[in-house]
Amino acid sequence: MPDLKFTKAHEWVKVQGEIATIGITDYAQSQLGDIVFIELPKPGEEIKKSSQFGTIESTKAASELYAPVSGKVIQINDELVNNPERVNESALDKGWIAKVRLEDVAELDSLLDESAYREFIDKEI
């Protein structure tokens, strides 16, 4: 996972060119438990770094999703509408939430790399 960046709110982002794929971390899905619903952003929607762009609900709790970067939503993972459990099964792959055209690449500098994120969650446990 060296090409992933993380937030302290447990979202991940993977950048390829000017496209950022966003999801929640494996740690987050394990803390939530069985995911039963995901409110996805709308294609074409502008999202801003650190602002809410969706909601994820499990049998235990509901959590807001916060954008790790700013940009325009160009694609959502439609499969999650009818199969939200994909996030539990594959949070870092098939469970991605949205793809965004990056507005400002410099925003990535404020995100955690994998080792910093692991240190962060180790302190939470």
How does pLDDT run across 91-106, given as a tens digit for each residue? 999 999 999 999 999 9
Domain 4-118 CATH class label: mainly beta
User: What number of residues does the chain have?
Assistant: 125
Q: Collapse the DSSP code of 13 into the 3-class scheme (helix H, G, I; strand E, B; otherwise coil) and give the result.
A: strand
Contacts of 29 (CB under 8 A, 6+ apart): 35, 87, 88, 91, 95
If 0-12 CB within 10 Å is exposed, 13-18 middle and 19+ buried, where does residue 78 land?
exposed
**Domain boundaries defined on the chain:** 4-118
Q: Indicate the pLDDT class of residue 2, thresholds 50, 70 and 90.
A: low
Q: Determine the Cα–Cα distance for residues 9 and 19; give it in Å rounded to an integer.
A: 21
The label of the residue with tokens 């609900």 reads 57
> pTM of the prediction?
0.94
